[in-house]
């Protein structure tokens, strides 16, 4: 199971990258200190072209909680699909991951929390328990939370303090008795990525990957 290196502060990661990443579940990183961490964080730095591209790639990696090797695999698979820009295909695939869908439904306070819920068998897809965070949810699939999941700390925390208040249009959430369930009503769009993102820089960063 992929894990973000949480030995590094989630605030520091977001400040270093200059953007709030909802998947990290830690809001307000740039409110008090809208500059990089460390004693030289307020100094203006001229970034190399490589660093600018690296930062853009790291936004994706940290928000979705992926290792570099995993992200490269998504890049390789996306480049084999010729119906759209490969970076658009990659974003749609990442937004369709079950752990991300659980997070975007506000059933978990962060993507690591959503991944834990999936791994602990708290989530069902089309009536069957799925414990693979990277499982691809497809249009028409129905996602439900188990009784145990609805009592979990992650779920209860998300209900009190949701990280993202607006549920994306590709998901339709409804109450089912005391529990919630949702349906993926369409494929996500590349524009559904929930943070500022420059596709061109990621394309340039991975141009050699085949």
Q: Are 210 and 79 a contacting pair, CB within 8 Å?
A: yes
- When pLDDT is averaged across residues 43-57 and rounded to a whole number, the result is 84
At 39, the pLDDT band (50, 70, 90 cuts) reads: very low
pLDDT at 40 over 80: no
Locate all alpha helices (DSSP H) within 39-125, ordered by sequence. 49-63, 68-79, 86-95, 98-104, 111-119
Q: Which CATH class is domain 10-90+194-205?
A: mainly alpha
Q: Are 6 and 112 a contacting pair, CB within 8 Å?
A: yes
Q: What region, left, alpha or beta, does residue 27 occupy, with left being phi > 0 and alpha being psi -120 to 50 degrees?
A: beta
* Average pLDDT across the chain, whole number: 88
Torsion, CA 156, CA 157, CA 158, CA 164, rounded to 10: 170
Owner of token pair 């996500």? 188
pLDDT at 26 over 90: no
At 161, the pLDDT band (50, 70, 90 cuts) reads: confident
Lowest mean pLDDT among 31-40, 85-94, 108-117, 166-175: 31-40
Q: pLDDT higher for 20 or 7?
A: 20
CB half-sphere exposure, 6, CA atoms < 13 A: 13
Between CA 69 and CA 142 the distance in angstroms is 30
Lowest mean pLDDT among 25-34, 78-87, 175-184: 25-34
pLDDT (tens digit per residue) in 104-155: 999 999 999 999 999 999 999 999 999 999 999 999 999 999 999 999 999 9
- pTM as predicted: 0.86
Q: Are 28 and 15 a contacting pair, CB within 8 Å?
A: no
**What homologous superfamily does CATH list for 97-184?**
RNA-binding S4 domain (3.10.290.10)
pLDDT at 86 over 60: yes
DSSP letter, residue 168? P
The answer for residues whose C-beta is within 8 angstroms of residue 168's C-beta and 6 or more apart is 95, 104, 188, 192
User: Helix, strand, or coil here: 158?
Assistant: helix
At 32, the pLDDT band (50, 70, 90 cuts) reads: low
Owner of token pair 């369409």? 186
The pLDDT assigned to 178 comes to 64
pLDDT at 81 over 70: yes
The pLDDT assigned to 4 comes to 46
Between CA 26 and CA 150 the distance in angstroms is 22
The pLDDT assigned to 12 comes to 85
At 177, the pLDDT band (50, 70, 90 cuts) reads: low
Domain ranges of the chain: 10-90+194-205, 97-184
Tell me which H or E stretch contains 144.
Answer: strand 142-145
Q: Are 63 and 96 a contacting pair, CB within 8 Å?
A: no
């Amino acid at each position: 199971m992929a894990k973000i290196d949480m030995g590094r502060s989630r605030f520091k990661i977001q400040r270093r990258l200059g953007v709030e990443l909802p998947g990290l579940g830690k809001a307000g990183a740039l409110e008090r200190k809208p500059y990089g961490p460390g004693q030289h964080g307020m100094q203006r730095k001229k970034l190399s072209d490589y660093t600018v591209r690296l930062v853009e790639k790291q936004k994706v990696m940290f928000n979705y909680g992926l290792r570099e090797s995993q992200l490269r695999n998504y890049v390789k698979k996306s480049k084999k699909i010729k119906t759209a820009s490969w970076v658009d295909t990659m974003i749609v695939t990442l937004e369709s991951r079950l752990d991300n869908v659980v997070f975007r439904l506000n059933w978990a306070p962060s993507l690591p929390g959503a991944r834990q819920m999936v791994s602990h068998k708290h989530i069902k897809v089309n009536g069957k328990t799925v414990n693979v965070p990277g499982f691809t949810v497809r249009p028409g699939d129905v996602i439900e939370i188990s009784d145990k999941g609805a009592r979990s700390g992650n779920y209860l925390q998300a209900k009190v303090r949701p990280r993202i208040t607006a549920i994306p249009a590709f998901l339709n959430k409804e109450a089912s008795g005391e529990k919630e369930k949702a349906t993926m009503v369409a494929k996500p769009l590349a524009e559904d990525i929930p943070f500022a993102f420059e596709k061109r820089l990621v394309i340039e960063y991975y141009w050699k990957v085949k």
